[in-house]
C-alpha cells in the first residue's frame, strides 16, 4: 500500500494488502489487541491505531492521536509507539534488541515481522501500554 488508506476498519485495511504483508499486519494487529486490550482500536490518518487520546501542548496546540499505530508503507511496516517515561521513549530503548529494524523516537520500521525478536516486540508493546497508563 502506498499513501494513506481510505479503509474504514482494521479488517478492511488488512484485507486490501498483498501477502506477505497481509499476514504480518494481521498478526501484529492480533498481538497488539491481546497485549493492549484496553486500547480501543480505530482508524487514524489512514492507518491502524489503538488507544485514542487528546493532547494539548504547552504552546496551546491540540489534537487527537493514538498510543500505538501500525501502517503498511511501500517498502516497510511502521509500528508507532507514542509513549515514553522517565527512561525516555519506549521505541528507542529497543534499538539493540531489534537490530534489523530502523528505530526512531517513536517509530519502528521493518520489512517483515520475522525480522523482529518476538520477545522484544512483546516487551516493547507492554512497556508502551504501561507508559501510556501513567500519562
Residue 1 lies in a domain: no
Q: Where are the alpha helices (DSSP H) in the chain?
A: 10-15, 21-35, 118-134
The helix-helix angle for 21-35 and 118-134 (nearest 10°) equals 50
> Is the Cα torsion angle 134, 113, 41, 122 positive or negative in sign?
negative
Residue 46 lies in a domain: yes
- Quick one: which of 128, 118, 44, 134 has its CA closest to 90? 128
DSSP β-ladder status, 41-44 and 47-56: antiparallel
CA-CA distance, 63 to 56, in Å (whole number)?
7
* Whether this model's pTM surpasses 0.95: no
Residue 2 lies in a domain: no
CATH number at residue 114: 3.90.1150.200
Q: How many domains does the chain have?
A: 1
CA-CA distance, 83 to 36, in Å (whole number)?
13
Summarize pLDDT for 85-125 with one digit per residue, the tens. Answer: 999 999 999 999 999 999 999 999 999 999 999 999 999 99
Summarize pLDDT for 50-83 with one digit per residue, the tens. Answer: 999 998 989 999 999 999 999 999 999 999 999 9
Domain of 100 in residue numbering reads as: 10-134
CA-CA distance, 98 to 60, in Å (whole number)?
36
Amino acid at each position: 500500500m502506498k499513501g494513506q488508506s481510505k479503509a474504514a476498519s482494521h479488517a478492511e485495511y488488512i484485507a486490501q494488502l498483498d501477502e506477505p504483508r497481509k499476514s504480518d499486519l494481521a498478526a501484529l494487529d492480533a498481538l497488539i489487541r491481546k497485549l493492549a486490550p484496553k486500547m480501543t482500536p480505530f482508524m487514524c490518518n489512514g492507518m491502524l491505531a489503538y488507544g485514542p487520546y487528546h493532547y494539548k501542548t504547552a504552546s496551546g496546540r491540540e489534537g487527537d492521536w493514538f498510543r500505538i499505530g501500525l501502517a503498511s508503507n511501500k517498502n516497510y511496516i511502521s509500528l508507532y509507539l507514542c509513549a515514553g517515561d522517565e527512561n525516555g521513549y519506549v521505541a528507542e530503548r529497543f534499538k539493540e534488541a531489534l537490530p534489523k529494524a530502523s528505530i526512531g523516537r517513536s517509530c519502528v520500521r521493518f520489512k517483515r515481522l520475522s525480522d523482529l525478536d518476538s520477545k522484544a516486540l512483546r516487551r516493547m508493546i507492554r512497556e508502551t501500554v504501561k507508559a501510556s497508563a501513567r500519562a
